[in-house]
Chains A and B, each alone.
Chain A
Amino acid sequence: MSTALVTDLTIFVLALLVGIEVIGKVPATLHTPLMSATNSIHGIVLAGALLIGVTAHSVLGYVLAFVAAVFASANVVGGYVVTGRMLKMFRRRTPVEKGPGAGE
Protein backbone atom coordinates (compact mmCIF):
# COMPACT_ATOMS: atom_id res chain seq x y z
CA MET A 1 0.00 0.00 0.00
CA SER A 2 1.43 3.38 -0.95
CA THR A 3 1.94 6.19 1.58
CA ALA A 4 -0.57 8.31 -0.31
CA LEU A 5 -3.24 5.64 -0.02
CA VAL A 6 -2.57 5.23 3.70
CA THR A 7 -2.88 8.99 4.18
CA ASP A 8 -6.12 9.07 2.20
CA LEU A 9 -7.53 6.15 4.19
CA THR A 10 -6.60 7.85 7.46
CA ILE A 11 -8.39 11.01 6.39
CA PHE A 12 -11.42 8.98 5.30
CA VAL A 13 -11.73 7.07 8.56
CA LEU A 14 -11.25 10.14 10.73
CA ALA A 15 -13.76 12.15 8.70
CA LEU A 16 -16.22 9.28 9.04
CA LEU A 17 -15.83 9.36 12.83
CA VAL A 18 -16.17 13.15 12.94
CA GLY A 19 -19.31 12.81 10.84
CA ILE A 20 -20.82 10.25 13.19
CA GLU A 21 -20.01 12.43 16.20
CA VAL A 22 -21.37 15.67 14.71
CA ILE A 23 -24.44 14.26 13.01
CA GLY A 24 -25.49 12.20 16.02
CA LYS A 25 -26.32 15.50 17.73
CA VAL A 26 -28.70 16.77 15.05
CA PRO A 27 -32.30 16.68 16.36
CA ALA A 28 -34.93 14.67 14.48
CA THR A 29 -36.75 17.91 13.69
CA LEU A 30 -33.92 18.82 11.33
CA HIS A 31 -33.36 15.46 9.68
CA THR A 32 -34.79 16.48 6.32
CA PRO A 33 -32.72 19.69 6.11
CA LEU A 34 -29.74 17.63 7.34
CA MET A 35 -30.10 15.18 4.51
CA SER A 36 -30.52 18.04 2.08
CA ALA A 37 -27.43 19.74 3.55
CA THR A 38 -25.31 16.61 3.21
CA ASN A 39 -26.75 16.36 -0.29
CA SER A 40 -25.28 19.73 -1.13
CA ILE A 41 -21.98 18.81 0.53
CA HIS A 42 -21.54 15.82 -1.75
CA GLY A 43 -21.90 18.37 -4.52
CA ILE A 44 -18.15 18.82 -3.92
CA VAL A 45 -17.98 16.12 -6.57
CA LEU A 46 -18.17 19.14 -8.91
CA ALA A 47 -14.49 19.78 -8.14
CA GLY A 48 -13.67 16.30 -9.40
CA ALA A 49 -15.87 16.77 -12.45
CA LEU A 50 -14.14 20.03 -13.39
CA LEU A 51 -10.70 18.49 -12.91
CA ILE A 52 -11.48 16.05 -15.71
CA GLY A 53 -10.96 19.09 -17.92
CA VAL A 54 -7.22 19.14 -17.12
CA THR A 55 -6.54 15.99 -19.12
CA ALA A 56 -9.58 15.72 -21.37
CA HIS A 57 -8.44 16.15 -24.97
CA SER A 58 -10.75 13.78 -26.84
CA VAL A 59 -14.43 13.69 -27.69
CA LEU A 60 -15.09 10.98 -25.13
CA GLY A 61 -13.27 12.98 -22.47
CA TYR A 62 -15.28 16.09 -23.28
CA VAL A 63 -18.56 14.21 -23.19
CA LEU A 64 -17.78 12.67 -19.79
CA ALA A 65 -16.62 16.05 -18.45
CA PHE A 66 -19.79 17.71 -19.74
CA VAL A 67 -22.21 15.18 -18.24
CA ALA A 68 -20.32 15.10 -14.95
CA ALA A 69 -20.32 18.91 -14.79
CA VAL A 70 -24.09 19.06 -15.43
CA PHE A 71 -24.82 16.40 -12.78
CA ALA A 72 -22.52 17.84 -10.14
CA SER A 73 -23.51 21.48 -10.56
CA ALA A 74 -27.22 20.60 -10.44
CA ASN A 75 -26.43 18.73 -7.22
CA VAL A 76 -24.49 21.53 -5.56
CA VAL A 77 -26.62 24.52 -6.57
CA GLY A 78 -29.96 22.79 -6.04
CA GLY A 79 -28.81 21.31 -2.74
CA TYR A 80 -27.81 24.59 -1.16
CA VAL A 81 -30.81 26.54 -2.43
CA VAL A 82 -33.37 24.01 -1.23
CA THR A 83 -31.66 23.58 2.16
CA GLY A 84 -31.72 27.34 2.65
CA ARG A 85 -35.37 27.45 1.63
CA MET A 86 -36.28 24.78 4.15
CA LEU A 87 -34.32 26.20 7.05
CA LYS A 88 -35.92 29.59 6.54
CA MET A 89 -39.25 28.01 7.46
CA PHE A 90 -38.15 26.83 10.90
CA ARG A 91 -39.26 29.53 13.28
CA ARG A 92 -39.52 29.66 17.02
CA ARG A 93 -42.75 31.66 16.99
CA THR A 94 -45.26 32.35 14.26
CA PRO A 95 -44.52 35.76 12.76
CA VAL A 96 -47.23 38.15 11.56
CA GLU A 97 -49.62 36.04 9.56
CA LYS A 98 -50.18 38.45 6.69
CA GLY A 99 -47.45 39.39 4.27
CA PRO A 100 -45.14 37.67 1.86
CA GLY A 101 -44.78 34.59 4.06
CA ALA A 102 -47.77 33.01 2.38
CA GLY A 103 -46.20 33.32 -1.04
CA GLU A 104 -43.60 30.65 -0.45
Chain B
Amino acid sequence: MSSFDTSIQLIYVLAAACFVMGLHLMNSPATARRGNQASTAGMVIAGIATLILLIHSGSVTGVGWTVLIVGSAIGSAIGLFAARGVQMTAMPQLVSMFNSVGGGAAALIAIYEYIHDEGLRSGVLGTTTVTTLLDVIIGAVTFSGSIVAAGKLQGLIPGQPLIFRGGRLLNIALGVVIVGTAIFMLTTASLPALVIVLLAALAFGVMMVLPIGGADMPVVISLLNAFTGTAVAMAGFVIANWALIVAGALVGASGGILTKLMADAMNRSLANIIVGGFGTGDAAVALEGAADASVRAIAADDAAIQLAYAAKVIIVPGYGLAAAQAQHGVAELAKLLEERGIEVSYAIHPVAGRMPGHMNVLLAEANVPYPQLVEMDEINPEFARTDVALVIGANDVTNPAARRAGTAISGMPILDVDQAKSIIVVKRSMGHGYAGLDNELYTDPKTSMYFADAKKAMQQLTAAVKTLVG
Protein backbone atom coordinates (compact mmCIF):
# COMPACT_ATOMS: atom_id res chain seq x y z
CA MET B 1 0.00 0.00 0.00
CA SER B 2 1.48 3.34 -0.97
CA SER B 3 1.74 6.04 1.66
CA PHE B 4 -1.02 7.93 -0.14
CA ASP B 5 -3.40 4.98 0.06
CA THR B 6 -2.47 4.46 3.70
CA SER B 7 -3.28 8.07 4.53
CA ILE B 8 -6.66 7.83 2.80
CA GLN B 9 -7.50 4.60 4.63
CA LEU B 10 -6.56 6.26 7.93
CA ILE B 11 -8.86 9.17 7.18
CA TYR B 12 -11.64 6.67 6.49
CA VAL B 13 -10.91 5.03 9.86
CA LEU B 14 -11.26 8.46 11.48
CA ALA B 15 -14.63 8.86 9.77
CA ALA B 16 -15.71 5.44 11.03
CA ALA B 17 -14.67 6.42 14.56
CA CYS B 18 -16.88 9.51 14.27
CA PHE B 19 -19.83 7.28 13.34
CA VAL B 20 -19.29 5.09 16.41
CA MET B 21 -18.97 8.16 18.66
CA GLY B 22 -22.09 9.62 17.11
CA LEU B 23 -24.10 6.48 17.81
CA HIS B 24 -22.69 6.29 21.32
CA LEU B 25 -23.89 9.83 22.07
CA MET B 26 -27.39 8.76 21.11
CA ASN B 27 -27.71 6.88 24.40
CA SER B 28 -29.42 9.92 25.91
CA PRO B 29 -31.74 12.57 24.45
CA ALA B 30 -29.55 15.22 26.06
CA THR B 31 -26.48 14.31 23.99
CA ALA B 32 -28.17 12.93 20.89
CA ARG B 33 -27.87 16.14 18.88
CA ARG B 34 -24.14 16.21 19.45
CA GLY B 35 -24.10 12.61 18.30
CA ASN B 36 -25.69 13.57 15.01
CA GLN B 37 -23.12 16.34 14.61
CA ALA B 38 -20.24 13.95 15.28
CA SER B 39 -21.67 11.58 12.71
CA THR B 40 -22.09 14.41 10.19
CA ALA B 41 -18.47 15.42 10.78
CA GLY B 42 -17.42 11.84 10.03
CA MET B 43 -19.38 11.93 6.80
CA VAL B 44 -17.78 15.22 5.73
CA ILE B 45 -14.32 13.79 6.46
CA ALA B 46 -15.12 10.69 4.41
CA GLY B 47 -16.42 12.88 1.60
CA ILE B 48 -13.24 14.96 1.51
CA ALA B 49 -11.06 11.83 1.53
CA THR B 50 -13.07 10.48 -1.40
CA LEU B 51 -12.67 13.72 -3.35
CA ILE B 52 -8.90 13.67 -2.75
CA LEU B 53 -8.84 10.07 -3.97
CA LEU B 54 -10.76 11.00 -7.11
CA ILE B 55 -8.48 13.94 -7.91
CA HIS B 56 -5.34 11.98 -7.07
CA SER B 57 -6.32 9.11 -9.36
CA GLY B 58 -6.27 11.57 -12.26
CA SER B 59 -8.37 9.20 -14.33
CA VAL B 60 -11.80 10.72 -13.85
CA THR B 61 -12.85 12.06 -17.24
CA GLY B 62 -14.58 15.36 -17.83
CA VAL B 63 -17.81 13.53 -18.46
CA GLY B 64 -17.14 11.52 -15.32
CA TRP B 65 -16.85 14.65 -13.18
CA THR B 66 -19.99 16.13 -14.72
CA VAL B 67 -21.92 12.94 -14.08
CA LEU B 68 -20.77 12.72 -10.45
CA ILE B 69 -21.32 16.40 -9.66
CA VAL B 70 -24.71 16.71 -11.35
CA GLY B 71 -25.84 13.38 -9.89
CA SER B 72 -24.81 14.36 -6.36
CA ALA B 73 -26.42 17.77 -6.70
CA ILE B 74 -29.72 16.31 -7.87
CA GLY B 75 -29.66 13.65 -5.15
CA SER B 76 -28.82 16.18 -2.44
CA ALA B 77 -31.65 18.45 -3.57
CA ILE B 78 -34.12 15.54 -3.46
CA GLY B 79 -32.87 14.45 -0.04
CA LEU B 80 -33.03 17.97 1.35
CA PHE B 81 -36.50 18.59 -0.03
CA ALA B 82 -37.83 15.31 1.37
CA ALA B 83 -36.19 15.78 4.77
CA ARG B 84 -37.38 19.37 5.18
CA GLY B 85 -40.95 18.78 4.13
CA VAL B 86 -41.77 15.45 5.70
CA GLN B 87 -44.50 15.24 8.34
CA MET B 88 -43.47 13.35 11.45
CA THR B 89 -46.34 10.93 10.87
CA ALA B 90 -44.78 10.13 7.47
CA MET B 91 -41.35 9.43 8.96
CA PRO B 92 -41.52 5.64 8.44
CA GLN B 93 -42.07 6.14 4.69
CA LEU B 94 -39.10 8.47 4.44
CA VAL B 95 -36.81 6.14 6.37
CA SER B 96 -37.99 3.34 4.13
CA MET B 97 -37.17 5.36 1.00
CA PHE B 98 -33.69 6.14 2.35
CA ASN B 99 -33.22 2.41 2.96
CA SER B 100 -34.29 1.83 -0.60
CA VAL B 101 -31.87 4.26 -2.26
CA GLY B 102 -29.03 3.23 0.06
CA GLY B 103 -29.51 -0.43 -0.83
CA GLY B 104 -29.94 0.49 -4.49
CA ALA B 105 -26.69 2.46 -4.58
CA ALA B 106 -24.84 -0.43 -2.89
CA ALA B 107 -26.19 -2.86 -5.48
CA LEU B 108 -25.17 -0.54 -8.34
CA ILE B 109 -21.59 -0.43 -7.03
CA ALA B 110 -21.34 -4.22 -7.20
CA ILE B 111 -23.02 -4.33 -10.60
CA TYR B 112 -20.53 -1.80 -11.90
CA GLU B 113 -17.60 -3.71 -10.47
CA TYR B 114 -18.89 -6.82 -12.18
CA ILE B 115 -19.31 -5.36 -15.64
CA HIS B 116 -16.28 -3.12 -15.42
CA ASP B 117 -15.84 -1.49 -18.85
CA GLU B 118 -12.20 -2.40 -19.31
CA GLY B 119 -13.13 -5.96 -18.49
CA LEU B 120 -15.90 -5.96 -21.06
CA ARG B 121 -13.58 -4.70 -23.77
CA SER B 122 -11.23 -7.63 -23.34
CA GLY B 123 -14.16 -9.96 -23.04
CA VAL B 124 -13.47 -10.76 -19.38
CA LEU B 125 -15.90 -9.71 -16.71
CA GLY B 126 -14.78 -8.23 -13.43
CA THR B 127 -14.03 -10.32 -10.40
CA THR B 128 -16.94 -12.33 -9.08
CA THR B 129 -16.76 -12.91 -5.39
CA VAL B 130 -19.30 -14.01 -2.86
CA THR B 131 -19.44 -10.45 -1.55
CA THR B 132 -20.21 -9.02 -4.99
CA LEU B 133 -23.11 -11.41 -5.37
CA LEU B 134 -24.37 -10.78 -1.84
CA ASP B 135 -24.19 -7.05 -2.47
CA VAL B 136 -26.28 -7.30 -5.65
CA ILE B 137 -28.81 -9.66 -4.05
CA ILE B 138 -29.27 -7.91 -0.69
CA GLY B 139 -29.12 -4.46 -2.26
CA ALA B 140 -31.77 -5.30 -4.85
CA VAL B 141 -34.08 -6.99 -2.31
CA THR B 142 -33.77 -3.92 -0.07
CA PHE B 143 -34.38 -1.54 -2.96
CA SER B 144 -37.65 -3.06 -4.16
CA GLY B 145 -38.81 -4.25 -0.73
CA SER B 146 -38.39 -0.81 0.80
CA ILE B 147 -40.31 0.85 -2.02
CA VAL B 148 -43.22 -1.55 -1.41
CA ALA B 149 -43.00 -0.89 2.35
CA ALA B 150 -43.05 2.87 1.77
CA GLY B 151 -45.99 2.47 -0.60
CA LYS B 152 -47.91 0.52 2.03
CA LEU B 153 -47.16 3.10 4.72
CA GLN B 154 -48.17 5.94 2.41
CA GLY B 155 -51.39 4.10 1.57
CA LEU B 156 -50.52 3.78 -2.13
CA ILE B 157 -50.50 0.02 -1.74
CA PRO B 158 -53.19 -1.56 0.49
CA GLY B 159 -51.86 -1.92 4.02
CA GLN B 160 -53.42 -5.30 4.72
CA PRO B 161 -51.46 -8.43 3.92
CA LEU B 162 -51.69 -9.13 0.20
CA ILE B 163 -51.62 -12.86 -0.11
CA PHE B 164 -52.40 -14.73 -3.27
CA ARG B 165 -52.33 -18.38 -4.08
CA GLY B 166 -48.93 -19.66 -5.07
CA GLY B 167 -47.23 -16.60 -3.58
CA ARG B 168 -45.19 -18.67 -1.19
CA LEU B 169 -44.30 -21.11 -3.95
CA LEU B 170 -43.19 -18.20 -6.13
CA ASN B 171 -40.98 -16.94 -3.31
CA ILE B 172 -39.31 -20.32 -2.99
CA ALA B 173 -38.85 -20.48 -6.76
CA LEU B 174 -37.29 -17.02 -6.80
CA GLY B 175 -34.99 -18.01 -3.96
CA VAL B 176 -33.86 -21.10 -5.84
CA VAL B 177 -33.24 -19.08 -9.01
CA ILE B 178 -31.20 -16.49 -7.08
CA VAL B 179 -29.04 -19.00 -5.24
CA GLY B 180 -28.62 -21.29 -8.23
CA THR B 181 -27.61 -18.51 -10.63
CA ALA B 182 -25.32 -16.97 -8.04
CA ILE B 183 -23.46 -20.28 -7.56
CA PHE B 184 -23.14 -20.60 -11.34
CA MET B 185 -21.68 -17.09 -11.47
CA LEU B 186 -18.96 -17.97 -8.98
CA THR B 187 -17.28 -20.13 -11.61
CA THR B 188 -18.51 -18.62 -14.88
CA ALA B 189 -18.52 -14.97 -15.86
CA SER B 190 -21.86 -14.18 -17.45
CA LEU B 191 -23.70 -10.92 -17.95
CA PRO B 192 -27.13 -12.54 -18.55
CA ALA B 193 -26.71 -14.43 -15.28
CA LEU B 194 -26.17 -11.13 -13.46
CA VAL B 195 -29.34 -9.74 -15.00
CA ILE B 196 -31.27 -12.84 -13.91
CA VAL B 197 -30.00 -12.56 -10.33
CA LEU B 198 -30.82 -8.86 -10.26
CA LEU B 199 -34.37 -9.24 -11.58
CA ALA B 200 -35.10 -12.24 -9.36
CA ALA B 201 -33.83 -10.36 -6.30
CA LEU B 202 -35.96 -7.31 -7.16
CA ALA B 203 -39.02 -9.55 -7.55
CA PHE B 204 -38.20 -11.31 -4.29
CA GLY B 205 -38.09 -7.97 -2.45
CA VAL B 206 -41.57 -7.11 -3.66
CA MET B 207 -42.94 -10.54 -2.85
CA MET B 208 -41.36 -10.50 0.60
CA VAL B 209 -43.03 -7.27 1.74
CA LEU B 210 -46.43 -7.52 -0.01
CA PRO B 211 -47.86 -10.15 2.39
CA ILE B 212 -46.89 -8.17 5.49
CA GLY B 213 -49.59 -6.18 7.27
CA GLY B 214 -49.56 -2.61 8.56
CA ALA B 215 -49.15 -3.52 12.22
CA ASP B 216 -45.99 -5.46 11.42
CA MET B 217 -44.38 -2.49 9.68
CA PRO B 218 -42.04 -1.61 12.58
CA VAL B 219 -40.44 -5.04 12.16
CA VAL B 220 -40.21 -4.80 8.39
CA ILE B 221 -38.62 -1.37 8.38
CA SER B 222 -36.07 -2.48 10.97
CA LEU B 223 -35.29 -5.58 8.96
CA LEU B 224 -34.86 -3.63 5.72
CA ASN B 225 -32.64 -1.20 7.63
CA ALA B 226 -30.43 -4.12 8.64
CA PHE B 227 -30.42 -5.31 5.01
CA THR B 228 -29.29 -1.91 3.76
CA GLY B 229 -26.44 -1.87 6.26
CA THR B 230 -25.35 -5.33 5.19
CA ALA B 231 -25.53 -4.37 1.50
CA VAL B 232 -23.36 -1.31 2.15
CA ALA B 233 -20.84 -3.41 4.09
CA MET B 234 -20.72 -5.86 1.16
CA ALA B 235 -20.09 -2.93 -1.18
CA GLY B 236 -17.19 -2.07 1.14
CA PHE B 237 -15.78 -5.58 0.61
CA VAL B 238 -16.18 -5.23 -3.16
CA ILE B 239 -14.27 -1.96 -3.45
CA ALA B 240 -11.99 -2.65 -0.45
CA ASN B 241 -13.11 0.38 1.54
CA TRP B 242 -13.05 0.16 5.34
CA ALA B 243 -15.36 3.10 5.89
CA LEU B 244 -18.14 1.33 4.02
CA ILE B 245 -17.48 -1.92 5.87
CA VAL B 246 -17.59 -0.33 9.32
CA ALA B 247 -20.56 1.92 8.59
CA GLY B 248 -22.48 -0.95 7.01
CA ALA B 249 -21.76 -3.23 9.96
CA LEU B 250 -22.94 -0.56 12.43
CA VAL B 251 -26.20 -0.12 10.54
CA GLY B 252 -26.61 -3.86 10.21
CA ALA B 253 -26.21 -4.26 13.98
CA SER B 254 -28.66 -1.47 14.69
CA GLY B 255 -31.28 -2.79 12.30
CA GLY B 256 -30.82 -6.29 13.70
CA ILE B 257 -31.30 -5.18 17.30
CA LEU B 258 -34.39 -3.14 16.46
CA THR B 259 -35.86 -6.03 14.47
CA LYS B 260 -35.50 -8.32 17.46
CA LEU B 261 -36.92 -5.75 19.89
CA MET B 262 -39.95 -5.15 17.69
CA ALA B 263 -40.61 -8.84 17.10
CA ASP B 264 -40.30 -9.53 20.85
CA ALA B 265 -42.71 -6.69 21.62
CA MET B 266 -45.30 -8.49 19.54
CA ASN B 267 -44.31 -11.93 20.76
CA ARG B 268 -43.91 -13.06 17.17
CA SER B 269 -41.02 -14.76 15.50
CA LEU B 270 -39.45 -13.11 12.51
CA ALA B 271 -40.32 -16.11 10.35
CA ASN B 272 -43.95 -15.79 11.41
CA ILE B 273 -44.05 -12.14 10.36
CA ILE B 274 -42.32 -12.71 7.03
CA VAL B 275 -44.64 -15.57 6.17
CA GLY B 276 -47.40 -13.11 6.97
CA GLY B 277 -51.14 -13.32 7.11
CA PHE B 278 -51.64 -12.01 10.63
CA GLY B 279 -50.83 -8.34 11.02
CA THR B 280 -53.94 -6.87 9.53
CA GLY B 281 -53.11 -3.34 10.53
CA ASP B 282 -55.18 -2.11 13.42
CA ALA B 283 -56.01 -5.70 13.94
CA ALA B 284 -59.31 -6.85 15.25
CA VAL B 285 -58.58 -9.96 17.23
CA ALA B 286 -61.77 -11.87 17.80
CA LEU B 287 -62.18 -13.30 21.28
CA GLU B 288 -64.87 -15.67 22.41
CA GLY B 289 -67.18 -14.88 25.29
CA ALA B 290 -66.82 -11.14 25.11
CA ALA B 291 -69.42 -10.55 22.43
CA ASP B 292 -72.43 -9.92 24.64
CA ALA B 293 -70.69 -7.97 27.37
CA SER B 294 -71.81 -4.37 27.63
CA VAL B 295 -69.68 -1.28 27.77
CA ARG B 296 -70.21 2.01 29.57
CA ALA B 297 -70.20 5.08 27.35
CA ILE B 298 -69.57 8.52 28.81
CA ALA B 299 -69.52 12.11 27.55
CA ALA B 300 -66.73 14.66 27.62
CA ASP B 301 -67.97 16.27 30.86
CA ASP B 302 -67.81 13.01 32.82
CA ALA B 303 -64.37 12.22 31.48
CA ALA B 304 -63.23 15.73 32.35
CA ILE B 305 -64.40 15.37 35.95
CA GLN B 306 -62.44 12.14 36.35
CA LEU B 307 -59.32 13.73 34.89
CA ALA B 308 -59.55 17.05 36.71
CA TYR B 309 -59.80 15.45 40.16
CA ALA B 310 -57.16 12.79 39.67
CA ALA B 311 -53.76 12.91 41.31
CA LYS B 312 -52.00 10.78 38.75
CA VAL B 313 -52.89 10.29 35.09
CA ILE B 314 -51.19 8.03 32.56
CA ILE B 315 -51.89 8.62 28.89
CA VAL B 316 -51.64 5.57 26.64
CA PRO B 317 -51.26 6.69 23.03
CA GLY B 318 -51.54 4.35 20.06
CA TYR B 319 -51.35 4.69 16.33
CA GLY B 320 -54.96 5.90 16.27
CA LEU B 321 -53.74 9.07 17.96
CA ALA B 322 -51.28 9.75 15.18
CA ALA B 323 -53.77 8.81 12.48
CA ALA B 324 -56.18 11.42 13.87
CA GLN B 325 -53.36 14.00 14.21
CA ALA B 326 -54.32 14.39 17.87
CA GLN B 327 -50.82 14.59 19.35
CA HIS B 328 -50.94 18.37 19.76
CA GLY B 329 -54.38 18.15 21.34
CA VAL B 330 -53.31 15.55 23.85
CA ALA B 331 -50.21 17.57 24.75
CA GLU B 332 -52.39 20.58 25.43
CA LEU B 333 -54.71 18.57 27.65
CA ALA B 334 -51.74 17.13 29.53
CA LYS B 335 -50.32 20.58 30.07
CA LEU B 336 -53.62 21.81 31.47
CA LEU B 337 -53.75 18.87 33.89
CA GLU B 338 -50.17 19.44 34.95
CA GLU B 339 -50.92 23.07 35.73
CA ARG B 340 -53.45 21.73 38.22
CA GLY B 341 -50.69 19.78 39.90
CA ILE B 342 -51.70 16.43 38.43
CA GLU B 343 -48.86 14.04 37.67
CA VAL B 344 -49.03 13.18 33.96
CA SER B 345 -46.93 10.68 32.07
CA TYR B 346 -47.20 8.75 28.81
CA ALA B 347 -46.96 4.97 28.56
CA ILE B 348 -45.21 4.06 25.33
CA HIS B 349 -45.47 0.51 24.05
CA PRO B 350 -42.50 -0.47 21.86
CA VAL B 351 -44.69 -1.03 18.80
CA ALA B 352 -46.89 2.05 19.19
CA GLY B 353 -46.72 3.71 15.78
CA ARG B 354 -45.41 2.50 12.48
CA MET B 355 -41.69 2.29 13.27
CA PRO B 356 -39.57 1.80 16.39
CA GLY B 357 -39.94 4.82 18.69
CA HIS B 358 -42.37 6.55 16.32
CA MET B 359 -44.78 7.63 19.07
CA ASN B 360 -41.99 9.37 20.97
CA VAL B 361 -41.14 11.52 17.97
CA LEU B 362 -44.79 12.42 17.38
CA LEU B 363 -45.18 13.52 21.00
CA ALA B 364 -41.84 15.31 21.04
CA GLU B 365 -43.05 17.27 18.04
CA ALA B 366 -46.07 18.31 20.11
CA ASN B 367 -43.61 19.69 22.70
CA VAL B 368 -44.10 16.90 25.22
CA PRO B 369 -40.93 16.86 27.34
CA TYR B 370 -39.15 13.54 26.87
CA PRO B 371 -38.87 12.64 30.61
CA GLN B 372 -42.66 12.19 30.51
CA LEU B 373 -42.39 9.49 27.84
CA VAL B 374 -41.99 6.26 29.78
CA GLU B 375 -41.15 2.84 28.39
CA MET B 376 -43.40 -0.16 29.03
CA ASP B 377 -41.28 -1.95 31.64
CA GLU B 378 -40.87 1.21 33.68
CA ILE B 379 -44.48 2.38 33.58
CA ASN B 380 -46.24 -0.93 34.18
CA PRO B 381 -45.72 -0.93 37.98
CA GLU B 382 -47.09 2.64 38.03
CA PHE B 383 -50.58 1.76 36.81
CA ALA B 384 -51.64 0.36 40.20
CA ARG B 385 -51.31 3.79 41.80
CA THR B 386 -52.80 5.66 38.86
CA ASP B 387 -56.20 7.30 39.19
CA VAL B 388 -57.02 7.56 35.50
CA ALA B 389 -55.48 5.78 32.53
CA LEU B 390 -56.46 7.62 29.35
CA VAL B 391 -56.20 5.27 26.37
CA ILE B 392 -56.22 7.04 23.00
CA GLY B 393 -56.18 5.00 19.83
CA ALA B 394 -54.35 2.06 21.37
CA ASN B 395 -55.99 -1.33 21.26
CA ASP B 396 -54.17 -4.66 21.24
CA VAL B 397 -51.32 -3.44 23.45
CA THR B 398 -53.83 -2.85 26.29
CA ASN B 399 -55.79 -6.07 25.96
CA PRO B 400 -55.59 -8.16 29.15
CA ALA B 401 -56.43 -11.24 27.07
CA ALA B 402 -52.77 -11.32 26.09
CA ARG B 403 -51.98 -12.67 29.57
CA ARG B 404 -54.14 -15.77 28.99
CA ALA B 405 -53.18 -18.65 26.81
CA GLY B 406 -55.17 -19.51 23.72
CA THR B 407 -55.85 -16.09 22.21
CA ALA B 408 -54.34 -14.65 19.07
CA ILE B 409 -52.26 -12.21 21.07
CA SER B 410 -51.32 -14.51 23.97
CA GLY B 411 -47.90 -13.83 25.36
CA MET B 412 -47.57 -10.40 23.80
CA PRO B 413 -46.18 -7.93 26.35
CA ILE B 414 -48.91 -5.41 27.16
CA LEU B 415 -49.34 -2.23 29.15
CA ASP B 416 -51.06 -3.06 32.44
CA VAL B 417 -53.76 -0.45 31.87
CA ASP B 418 -56.39 -2.58 33.62
CA GLN B 419 -54.52 -2.12 36.92
CA ALA B 420 -55.42 1.57 37.04
CA LYS B 421 -58.21 2.72 39.37
CA SER B 422 -60.26 3.91 36.42
CA ILE B 423 -59.81 3.81 32.68
CA ILE B 424 -61.09 6.09 29.95
CA VAL B 425 -60.85 4.79 26.40
CA VAL B 426 -61.14 7.29 23.58
CA LYS B 427 -62.25 5.54 20.43
CA ARG B 428 -64.19 6.38 17.32
CA SER B 429 -67.70 4.96 17.20
CA MET B 430 -67.47 1.22 17.03
CA GLY B 431 -70.38 1.15 14.57
CA HIS B 432 -71.24 -2.16 13.04
CA GLY B 433 -68.34 -4.14 14.37
CA TYR B 434 -69.63 -4.12 17.92
CA ALA B 435 -70.57 -7.78 18.06
CA GLY B 436 -66.98 -8.76 17.42
CA LEU B 437 -65.86 -6.85 20.48
CA ASP B 438 -62.19 -7.54 20.72
CA ASN B 439 -60.66 -5.85 23.74
CA GLU B 440 -61.57 -7.18 27.20
CA LEU B 441 -60.41 -3.92 28.69
CA TYR B 442 -63.48 -2.19 27.23
CA THR B 443 -65.88 -4.38 29.21
CA ASP B 444 -64.01 -3.95 32.48
CA PRO B 445 -66.37 -2.30 35.05
CA LYS B 446 -63.67 0.31 35.73
CA THR B 447 -63.59 1.34 32.09
CA SER B 448 -65.63 4.08 30.47
CA MET B 449 -65.72 4.52 26.72
CA TYR B 450 -65.66 7.97 25.24
CA PHE B 451 -66.68 7.63 21.61
CA ALA B 452 -65.20 10.39 19.49
CA ASP B 453 -62.53 11.15 16.97
CA ALA B 454 -59.29 11.46 18.93
CA LYS B 455 -58.57 15.00 17.80
CA LYS B 456 -62.08 16.29 18.54
CA ALA B 457 -62.11 14.36 21.80
CA MET B 458 -58.95 16.10 22.99
CA GLN B 459 -60.40 19.53 22.16
CA GLN B 460 -63.66 18.74 23.93
CA LEU B 461 -61.89 17.30 26.95
CA THR B 462 -59.61 20.30 27.24
CA ALA B 463 -62.56 22.67 26.97
CA ALA B 464 -64.54 20.66 29.52
CA VAL B 465 -61.68 20.61 32.02
CA LYS B 466 -61.25 24.36 31.56
CA THR B 467 -64.94 25.08 32.25
CA LEU B 468 -64.88 22.75 35.20
CA VAL B 469 -61.96 24.31 36.97
CA GLY B 470 -62.25 27.68 35.18
Write the residues of chain A forming the contact surface with B, with a CB cutoff of 8 angstroms: 4-5, 8, 11-13, 15-20, 22-58, 60-62, 64-95, 97, 101, 104
B132 at the interface (CB under 8 A from A): no
Instruction: Assess whether B78 is in contact with A36, with CB atoms less than 8 Å apart.
Output: no
Nearest-neighbor residue (CB-CB) of B356 within chain A: A31
B411 at the interface (CB under 8 A from A): no
Instruction: Assess whether B68 is in contact with A65, with CB atoms less than 8 Å apart.
Output: yes
Q: What 1/0 flags go to B33-68 for Cβ under 8 Å of A?
A: 101100110010011011101100101110111011
Q: What 1/0 flags go to B76-115 for Cβ under 8 Å of A?
A: 1011101110101001001100110110111011011001
Instruction: Assess whether A28 is in contact with B357, with CB atoms less than 8 Å apart.
Output: yes
A30 to B86 Cα, complex, angstroms: 18
Question: When the two chains form the complex, which single residue of B24, B36, B57 contacts A87, counting CB atoms closer than 8 Å?
Answer: B36
A-B contacts, CB under 8 A, total: 385
Q: Is the interface of A mostly helix, strand, loop or mixed?
A: helix
B355 at the interface (CB under 8 A from A): yes
Chain A neighbourhood of B247, CB < 8 A: 41-42, 44
Instruction: Assess whether B245 is in contact with A45, with CB atoms less than 8 Å apart.
Output: no
Chain B neighbourhood of A74, CB < 8 A: 75-76, 78-79, 82, 98, 101
Interface range, B side: 35 or more
A5 to B360 Cα, complex, angstroms: 42
Chain A neighbourhood of B276, CB < 8 A: none
A26 to chain B, nearest CB (A): 5
Instruction: Assess whether A65 is in contact with B23, with CB atoms less than 8 Å apart.
Output: no
29 intermolecular pairs with C-beta atoms under 8 Å apart: A16-B249, A26-B27, A29-B29, A29-B375, A35-B95, A35-B221, A41-B251, A44-B243, A44-B248, A45-B105, A46-B47, A48-B105, A48-B236, A49-B108, A50-B50, A50-B54, A64-B112, A67-B104, A68-B71, A71-B105, A71-B108, A78-B83, A78-B98, A80-B83, A82-B91, A91-B364, A94-B368, A97-B367, A101-B367
Q: What 1/0 flags go to B351-391 for Cβ under 8 Å of A?
A: 00101111011001101111101010000000000000000
Instruction: Assess whether B361 is in contact with A37, with CB atoms less than 8 Å apart.
Output: no
